[in-house]
Amino acid sequence: MYPLGLGIMTNRSELPIQTLRLSERDKAKLLWAIDQANRQDDNDNQRRLRVSCTKNEAVLTLKHHGGGETKLSMLARNLSRWGAALVHGRYVHENTRCELSIESNNGMLHNILGTVRHIRHIQGTIHELGVAFDEPIDLSEFVSLSPSEETRYLRELADDRPETDENEVVELSSRVLVIDDYASDRKLMSHWLTQAKLAVVSCSDSRNALIQVQEQVFDLLLVDYKLGTTSGLDLIRELRQNQFTAPIIAMSSDESEELEAFMHKAGADLLLKKPFTGEQLAQAAYQLIGINASADTAPIFSKLKDDLDMRPLLTEFTRGLAGYVDELRDANAMNNYETLEFISHQLKGSGNGYGFPAISERATELLLSLNAEDAEIETIRQQTSELIVTLNRVKLS
């Protein structure tokens, strides 16, 4: 990679061939027209997130079988992790090996190896070609992602992770919202929390954080102290004023001794000072959510799994547990003890009946705490989380 982007090509023999002799205004109009014409098809057929390029100028170097190369100036229409849609004024043969040179958001030039996979005629001599990359790129380095795009991008990253061992429990028992205006930090923390088997949503500013909290139930929030033009301190204060009751971890690289007191006064439960490790973050999250990190995570199978007559009933029961998990999570976040008691009472009776004594045991423990005169909120939250973890461990076979 090189600084100063495409301006490094100063030798005349290295200058790319200009196949689109259009003004900057006409180039922008052309890209807009292609985007509009393909918007419906893109929405219908996209399996991967594609984002319009922040910087449209690119160079594609074609690798010829005889060893020669041809550099063509291109317009980059959109990017995905695995490829690019490029517009130019010359036909290129499919399956041609190539190297795409394109600037990242910080002005560095990246050279990405790939193969021309398809060609589509636009008008006259203008064509659009699709390049498939040999290896995935970090999409957020090249384009600006909206909060919804970033959420989809992180889900895509999670979906692309290799499959785990069939006996490993990967269900996520708690939901975390990460609010940080720095994309790299959001991605890193989302990765750490996903590794800790927590479901993660992220956003970059206070406005979107407030929207997310209204639309979803979260068991934990991570809030950075500096959020662009706003302050994480103000966001935490507003959340507490709006009766948000789940734990909040504040984050900051500020060394001020007064900051921790300010954060606690605003409503934060804990201040993590950057830099911190993934292990430290997971430990803090588990502690505040009420998850026992040393608890058994092995799959739980019904003691009646070999009874063929019970098989249809067991299938229906295990499939229905996901609904209980969602209800328990929401009730736990809202301190809705009536719902917690109702669900735990149901599970106490049905767990043993379907051959899952561990479910009945966890539900009984929660019922006892809910009905105790001196019940503590943290005990109830922790036992609810343990019941959720137990339900997520249940496997049909």
Measure the CA–CA gap between 395 and 397, rounded to whole angstroms.
6
Residues near 101 by beta carbon (within 8 Å), at least 6 away in sequence: 6, 58, 59, 60, 61, 109, 110, 111, 112
Which CATH number goes with the domain that contains 345?
Answer: 1.20.120
Residue 136's nearest CA partner among 195, 62, 80, 53 is: 80
- Shared-domain flag, residues 45 and 164: no
pLDDT per residue as tens digits for the range 224-265: 988 878 888 899 999 988 888 888 999 988 877 788 888 888
What is the Cα–Cα distance from 54 to 105, expressed in whole angstroms?
8
The residue segments making up the domain with residue 313 are 300-395
Same-domain check for residues 163 and 285: yes
Element spanning 149, H or E: helix 147-159
Which pTM value belongs to this model? 0.46
Q: What is the pLDDT of residue 235?
A: 93
Closest CA relative to residue 87, chosen from 133, 144, 18, 148: 18
Between 185-199, 244-258, 280-294, 296-310, the lowest mean confidence (pLDDT) is in 280-294
Residue 11 has φ and ψ, to the nearest 5°, of -70, 130
- The reply to whether 295 falls in a domain is no
Question: Among 178-187, 312-321, 358-367, 376-385, which range has the highest average pLDDT?
Answer: 358-367
Using one digit for the tens of pLDDT, what is the confidence trace for 336-395?
889 999 999 999 999 999 999 999 999 999 999 999 888 788 788 888 878 888 887 888
Q: Within this chain, do residues 52 and 177 fall inside the same structural domain, yes or no?
A: no
**Residue 345, token pair as written in the block:** 């009472």
Residue 222's pLDDT is what? 94
Residue 213 tokens read as: 């909290």
What is Dmax (Cα atoms) for the chain?
A: 84
Residue-wise DSSP of 103-117: E-TTS-EEEEEEEEE
pLDDT of 317 above 60: yes
Query: Do 134 and 234 have their domain in common?
Result: no
Judgement on whether residues 163 and 279 belong to the same structural domain of the protein: yes
Residue type, position 13, single letter:
S
- Bridge partner list, 271: 250
- Span 295-303, mean pLDDT? 78
Strand partners, 86: 76, 129
Please tell me whether residues 235 and 316 are part of one structural domain: no
Judged against a pLDDT cut of 60, whether residue 12 lies above it is answered with no
**% of the chain surpassing 90 pLDDT:** 20
Specify the pairing of strand 69-80 against strand 17-18. Answer: parallel
Answer yes or no: is pLDDT of 43 > 60.
no
- In contact, 283 and 293? CB cutoff 8 Å: yes
Number of domains in the chain: 3
> Picking from 109-123, 162-176, 308-322, which range would have the lowest pLDDT averaged per residue?
162-176
Position with higher pLDDT, 40 vs 118? 118
The whole-angstrom separation of Cα 343 and Cα 350 is 11
For residue 208, what are the contacts with CB-CB under 8 A and spacing of at least 6?
147
Closest CA to 295 of 367, 213, 361: 361
Which of 289, 312, 331 delimits the end of a domain? 289
Measured CA to CA in angstroms, residue 64 lies from 68, 92, 95, 146 at distances of 5, 11, 11, 38
pLDDT of 204 > 70? The answer is yes
- Which CATH number belongs to the domain containing residue 212 in this structure? 3.40.50.2300
